[in-house]
Amino acid sequence: MKGTLCVVGSFAIGCLIGHLSGSDMGAQDISLIALYALMLQVGISVGSNKGLKDIVATIRPQSLVLPLGTIAGTLILSAAASLVLSRWSVFDCMAVGSGFAYYSLSSILIAQVKEPTVGMQVATELATIALLANIFREMMTLILAPVINKHLGARALISAAGVTSMDVLLPSIVNCSGKEMIPLAIAHGIIIDLSVPFFVSLFCSL
């Protein structure tokens, strides 16, 4: 929760600085640097996991069912949201959903990829929606973790956590579902993590 508030606070401060500066000079370059930094962070976080070899060794074909289900379910519901949000196309909604709770990377990536085709203002609006939607996903999963685990099961809880099943929400998953779910939760998070840049870029380009 504290980390989420820090992200929201940083975003608000950035908006304030941008507004007071009265200029967007260098904004694209800054976004690009931030995007590269986040991609580097993804690689470091995956590669530095001490249990990565053990996790990979335990992965079986059936272990891929859960992350694939998470991806499919999220994209289907995101596409359905376009029926209500008439301003945004089905692909825009799917790009937002493709963050899978990775709010920082998805929002910057959307802004970067969409800006050349729709302009900075529209791209920023969609990136802001992605930021808030994915933060909301993480917060709701954190709050409702015991309820989800009790009524839908441990795998549903891992799926709801998206990318954060391997870090932020891992303690909640362990607390609600037990330590035996750790390998699946981490493997799920890693696979989803690697899929975010691909799906966000894909749907932003359509």
Long-range own/partner contacts, residues 171-174 (CB < 8 A, 24 or more apart) = 172/141, 172/142, 172/145, 173/145
Long-range own/partner contacts, residues 180-183 (CB < 8 A, 24 or more apart) = 181/154, 183/54, 183/55, 183/58
Q: Which residue has the higher pLDDT, 104 or 127?
A: 127
Tell me: the pLDDT tens digits for 14-70?
Answer: 777 766 765 554 555 665 566 567 667 656 766 666 666 666 666 667 778 999 999
Q: Give pLDDT, residue 86.
A: 87
The pLDDT-based confidence of 84 (bands split at 50, 70, 90) is very high
Tell me: the pLDDT tens digits for 109-121?
Answer: 999 899 999 998 9
SS3 call for 84? coil
From CA 111, how far away is CA 33, in angstroms rounded?
13
Q: Give pLDDT, residue 5.
A: 66
Lowest mean pLDDT among 39-53, 162-176, 187-201: 39-53
Q: Give pLDDT, residue 158.
A: 96
Nearest to 153 by CA among 135, 178, 133, 183: 178
Which amino acid, one-letter code, is at 92?
Answer: D
The whole model's pTM is what? 0.77
